[in-house]
Each structure stands twice: as structure tokens, then as C-alpha cells.
């Protein structure tokens, strides 16, 4: 099996960033965390420029002492390095129209998610470096772990090495934001996208479906809404199990459960061959994700995601999902609990 290379602080030379103008497009979850980490690593504030439209994120960046511009053309022209840290669905429009045409032909472009690069939705120039530095953490954790002097899991890759120095830049930038402290894992936009979208489109939909159906069967068997909601998720037991899985091991965490539970879980899971599920997962991976079918369909509804009410397809999916018995029961339970408080 392939073993991924892991890069540490000692593999990265921050000197590569000397005198480079580093532009952050976006100061949201990731942008604010990464820009602050980079500055605290010692990259001078005057080398960092936040490019942000006029909104509260821009105000936050100014309040934190960063240089901020609303003029994307100006930011694009001066960028030696550009971190693209705005939502994935708006990146192609903003980058392709306002950044790409005026950027330096040797600039380093950094993405924190593989999606737009893997599906060729961003237009790069051939001499540019395109690198992925993708924290596996929400932005607030990227910042708080850095502040505690700890690292965070992160994927790093070079997707286009236009200058020949792509890896040196990718590693220096990873180190700058604190990602090589605990080890940045060599990956690729293909791997990152496949894993992300598989979790979102195959694994978690099945988990949601399994909770829904287990709920229905137990409810039909006479279990109360209150007991079911607490037993299944409101007690936070599933969250604890996953925390133990991360700390002790995916299967080893079972040792914290009762003997009856351990026996039931181990024998039960081994009895389920999983062939049908494996075929279903493969179908989603190859015929929905990697072949671009999902991306094509998603791009058709992207504009509608800005709409209000049920014209927004996401709101319509929430409406339909809220009709299921599990959600209705949970609402009743939460309303009763609120009354008791």
C-alpha cells in the first residue's frame, strides 16, 4: 500500500518567503486563522495583504491590524503568493474574472480544498505554482492549536510546478501557517476531493439513513421519542465514541463498552459482509464524484443557493428532511425539555 510522506518544520525553509507579497483572498474561517498564524510565525505584516469585499470580514481584518484592500485587481497584480480562502462555490467566478488575468506569471496560488483544482474550475497560467495546503480542521482550531504551540493535521501537495520551486513554497507556506508542526501529509487534490466528497455523498448519507431507519423500527417496537433521542444522539454518546476512536483506535475503543456491547458490535459487524455497500460506494465514487457528474449538477444550482425560501434548493432539502419522524420526534422532545427548564 502507498505510504504518504509526512513533512515537518525542519523540511521547510521560511526564507523562501522573504520579500514576497502574500495575499489572502478572504478573511473567513480559514483566512483569518491562516493569516494570523503566518504573521505570528514571523512573516512581516507589511508583506501580508487581505483582499476582501466590503463586509464584516474586512472590518475584522482591519481591526486585527492587517492591511486590507477591496480592490481585487490591485491585490492580484502585487501577489507573489495568493491564498484563495473564500467559499469553494464562488472561487471560480472571483478568481477567473478578477485575479487570474492580472496575476504575475510566476505567482504561487494556494488552495485549502482540492475541489476546484481537481475539476479544473480555476484558470491558472502555465508558469504559476498551484499548491494545496488543506487543514483538516475548522479555522478556529487552526488558530487555537497554533496559539497553544501545537500543530494540526493538514494535507499538502503541488499540483502545478510552474516555477520548479513549487514544493519549497508549499512547505514554507505550510510551516508559516503552523501546518508542519505536527506533520503535513503529502496528498493530492484528487485524493482530498475523493475522500471529502465520499464522506459527504456516501458515508454520512448512509449514516443518516441508518439512524432514521433504526429510529423508525425502535419506535414501532414501542420505544418513546424521549428515550430514543437520548439513546441515539442527544446523550452525545456517538461523539464520545468517535473521540475514543481517534484517541485509542477505531476498534480498540470498543474496550470501553460493556462486554455485551463489545460482543454485539464485533460479531454483528463481521457478519455484515458489506459487498452491496462496497458496490454502492464504488458507484458513487466513480460514477458520481470522480467523473464530475456531481460537480456538473451542482454548478447548475449554485446561483439558486443565494435565493431565499424554498427557491433555494438547500432550504427545500431541509424542508423534506425535517418531515422525517426522527426530526419531528426530536422537535417535540426539545420543546418539552425547553418547557421544563
Query: Under the rule (CB under 6 A), what is the footprint of ligand NAI?
Result: 26-31, 52-53, 55, 57, 85-88, 90, 94, 112-113, 134-135, 138-139
Report, in Å, the least distance between residue 152 CB and ligand NAI.
Answer: 10
Q: Which residues contact 223 (CB under 8 A, 6 or more apart)?
A: 231
Quickly list DSSP for 185-253: EE--HHHHHHHHHHIIIIIHHHHHHHHHHHHHHHHHTT--HHHHHIIIIIT-HHHHHHHHHHHH-TTGG
Burial (Cβ within 10 Å: 0-12, 13-18, ≥19) of residue 144: middle
* 98 vs 315 by CB, closer to ligand NAI: 98
Burial (Cβ within 10 Å: 0-12, 13-18, ≥19) of residue 42: exposed
* 135 vs 162 by CB, closer to ligand NAI: 135
Site of grid cell 514576497: 20
Report, in Å, the least distance between residue 112 CB and ligand NAI.
Answer: 4
Q: Which residues contact 165 (CB under 8 A, 6 or more apart)?
A: 16, 129
Helices 29-41, 166-176: crossing angle, 10 deg rounding: 90
Integer Cα distance of 66 and 61 in angstroms: 6
* 16 vs 84 by CB, closer to ligand NAI: 84
Residue nearest to ligand NAI (CB): 28
| Residue 323 dihedral angles phi and psi, to the nearest 5° | -75, -20
Report, in Å, the least distance between residue 36 CB and ligand NAI.
Answer: 13
* 25 vs 254 by CB, closer to ligand NAI: 25
* 138 vs 239 by CB, closer to ligand NAI: 138
* 170 vs 254 by CB, closer to ligand NAI: 170
* 56 vs 258 by CB, closer to ligand NAI: 56
Q: Tell me how long the chain is.
A: 341
Report, in Å, the least distance between residue 12 CB and ligand NAI.
Answer: 20
Report, in Å, the least distance between residue 103 CB and ligand NAI.
Answer: 16
CB 110 within 8 Å of CB 82 = yes
Report, in Å, the least distance between residue 153 CB and ligand NAI.
Answer: 10
Report, in Å, the least distance between residue 88 CB and ligand NAI.
Answer: 5
Amino acid at each position: 500500500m502507498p505510504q504518504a510522506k509526512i513533512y515537518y518544520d525542519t523540511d521547510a525553509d521560511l526564507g523562501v518567503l522573504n520579500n514576497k507579497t502574500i495575499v489572502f483572498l478572504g478573511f473567513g474561517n480559514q483566512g483569518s486563522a491562516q493569516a494570523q498564524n503566518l504573521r505570528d510565525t514571523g512573516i512581516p505584516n507589511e508583506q501580508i495583504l487581505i483582499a476582501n469585499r466590503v463586509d464584516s470580514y474586512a472590518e475584522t481584518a482591519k481591526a486585527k491590524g492587517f492591511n486590507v484592500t477591496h480592490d481585487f485587481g490591485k491585490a492580484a497584480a502585487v501577489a507573489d503568493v495568493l491564498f484563495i480562502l473564500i467559499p469553494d462555490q464562488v472561487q471560480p467566478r472571483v478568481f477567473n474574472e478578477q485575479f487570474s488575468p492580472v496575476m504575475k506569471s510566476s505567482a504561487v496560488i494556494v488552495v485549502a480544498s482540492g475541489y476546484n483544482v481537481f475539476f479544473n474550475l480555476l484558470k491558472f497560467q502555465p508558469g504559476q505554482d498551484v499548491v494545496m495546503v488543506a487543514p483538516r480542521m475548522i479555522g478556529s482550531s487552526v488558530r487555537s492549536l497554533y496559539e497553544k504551540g501545537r500543530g494540526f493535521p493538514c494535507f499538502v501537495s503541488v499540483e502545478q510546478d510552474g516555477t520548479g520551486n513549487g514544493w519549497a513554497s508549499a512547505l514554507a507556506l505550510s510551516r508559516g501557517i503552523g501546518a508542519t508542526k505536527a506533520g503535513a501529509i503529502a496528498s493530492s487534490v484528487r485524493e482530498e476531493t475523493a475522500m471529502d466528497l465520499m464522506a459527504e455523498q456516501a458515508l454520512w448519507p448512509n449514516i443518516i439513513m441508518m439512524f432514521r431507519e433504526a429510529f423508525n423500527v425502535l419506535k414501532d417496537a414501542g420505544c418513546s421519542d424521549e428515550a430514543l433521542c437520548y439513546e441515539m444522539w442527544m446523550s452525545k454518546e456517538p461523539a464520545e465514541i468517535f473521540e475514543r476512536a481517534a484517541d485509542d483506535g477505531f476498534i480498540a475503543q470498543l474496550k470501553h463498552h460493556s462486554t455485551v456491547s463489545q460482543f454485539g458490535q464485533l460479531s454483528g459487524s463481521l457478519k455484515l459482509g458489506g459487498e452491496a455497500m462496497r458496490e454502492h460506494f464504488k458507484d458513487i465514487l466513480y460514477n458520481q464524484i470522480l467523473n464530475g457528474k456531481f460537480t456538473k449538477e451542482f454548478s447548475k444550482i449554485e446561483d439558486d443557493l443565494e435565493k431565499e425560501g424554498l427557491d433555494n434548493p438547500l432550504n427545500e432539502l431541509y424542508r423534506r428532511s425535517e418531515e422525517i419522524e426522527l426530526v419531528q420526534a426530536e422537535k417535540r422532545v426539545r420543546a418539552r425539555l425547553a418547557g421544563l427548564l
